Amino acid sequence: MMSEAALEEVSVLSSIYCGEGEFHFRQSDQDGLVVQINCSAGAGRGLVLSVVFRLQPDYPAHPPHISVSSTDLSRAQCDGVRQKLQARAAALPPEPMVHQLVQYLQEECVQLSQDPGADTRGTQEREPEEEWTAVLLLDHIRSQNRYVALLERWSVQLQLAGRLLLGPKILLLLQGCRRDVKEFCRRLKTVKVDVDSTGKKCKERMMTVLLEAPSSSGRQGSQQGFSVQSYQSPAELAGSFQELSVSELYQQILPTLRA
């Protein structure tokens, strides 16, 4: 059973992409909603692309599966665009997102048309994976259910281990590949993850990276998955770090927490 938000989005999309052959959709028990949008993009709108979004019943809690095809681009270029679209979808809040993704697709294809080899270089050349640890200080969490769910979703998508520590200070300890930790931090700064004092959706602009450093061999894998833990006192907070065998990190950030 598709959500009302998904069905409403399809209705809106059909009115936006109303040109001949621009919009197609079907619904099935196996695939959920399948939305196909044929659009033009690139310099002078010379590129013609077809993008298919498969919206499962739990959409938009989980992003759609995406495929991209075009007679104007190579298979490698289409796959590069698809990967960027999928990454963009993963970074967005769990809200209807197809229209945003199509707009991003058109912007991405402008860059692609200017530098056709950019996508293949980006997927073939990757930095060596370095294990990384970061401790983040979050400014506030007002919409806790939504905020925490988004943090957990990102940690799973980026294959990071994370522990959210809720107390007088809100701390987030992340462990994983350096580029994925960096991507997590970028999302926190650029995606609307919470609400402000007026109830308006806002980004985590006040997040501070208290510490980031390579993980020692003894520290790798000291935590698994994503967990949330509450604490009331400095002793309880220190205990959480000790439990993860990273007591030295707590000692390093302690002066900042006391400031």
Domain containing residue 28: CATH number: 3.10.110.10
DSSP labels, 131-178: EEEEEEEES--SSHHHHHHHHHHHHHHTT-EEEEEESSSEEEEEEEEH
Cα-Cα-Cα-Cα dihedral of 114, 116, 118, 119, to 10°? 130
Reported as type and span, the H/E element at residue 79 is helix 75-91
> In terms of domains, do 74 and 91 share one?
yes
- Residues 130-148 as b/e (b if ≥16 CB within 10 A, e otherwise) read ebbbbbbbbeebeeeebbb
The last residue of one of the domains, among 94, 124, 154, is 124
pLDDT band for position 218 (cuts 50, 70, 90):
very low
pLDDT band for position 155 (cuts 50, 70, 90):
confident
> In terms of domains, do 175 and 250 share one?
yes
Give residue 124's pLDDT. Answer: 41
CA torsion sign for 147, 148, 153, 156 is positive
Q: How many CB atoms lie within 10 A of CB 212?
A: 15
Asked whether 133 and 175 are in contact (CB, 8 A), the reply is: yes
Asked whether 175 and 129 are in contact (CB, 8 A), the reply is: no
Question: Which residues, in sequence order, are bridge partners of residue 213?
Answer: 133
The last residue of one of the domains, among 124, 141, 168, is 124
> In terms of domains, do 144 and 103 share one?
no
> In terms of domains, do 46 and 145 share one?
no
CATH number where 241 lies: 3.30.70.100
> In terms of domains, do 70 and 187 share one?
no
CA atoms within 13 A on the CB side of 143: 18
Domain extent, residue 13, equals 4-124
> In terms of domains, do 115 and 147 share one?
no
Asked whether 162 and 238 are in contact (CB, 8 A), the reply is: no
> In terms of domains, do 137 and 251 share one?
yes
Distance of CA 66 to the CA centre of its chain: 15
Residue 4 pLDDT > 70: yes
Residue 63 pLDDT > 60: yes
pTM: 0.55
CB-count exposure of residue 247 (10 Å: 0-12, 13-18, 19+)? middle
> In terms of domains, do 60 and 109 share one?
yes
> In terms of domains, do 184 and 115 share one?
no
> In terms of domains, do 93 and 181 share one?
no
> In terms of domains, do 147 and 235 share one?
yes
The last residue of one of the domains, among 66, 96, 124, is 124
Query: Considering only CA atoms, which of 150, 157, 130, 134 is closest in space to residue 208?
Result: 134
Asked whether 47 and 72 are in contact (CB, 8 A), the reply is: yes
The model's pLDDT over 175-214, given as tens digits with 9 standing for 90+, comes to: 998 888 888 888 888 777 888 888 888 878 888 999 998 8
Lowest-confidence range among 120-129, 136-145, 169-178, 180-189?
120-129
Q: Could you give the number of structural domains in the chain?
A: 2
> In terms of domains, do 152 and 101 share one?
no
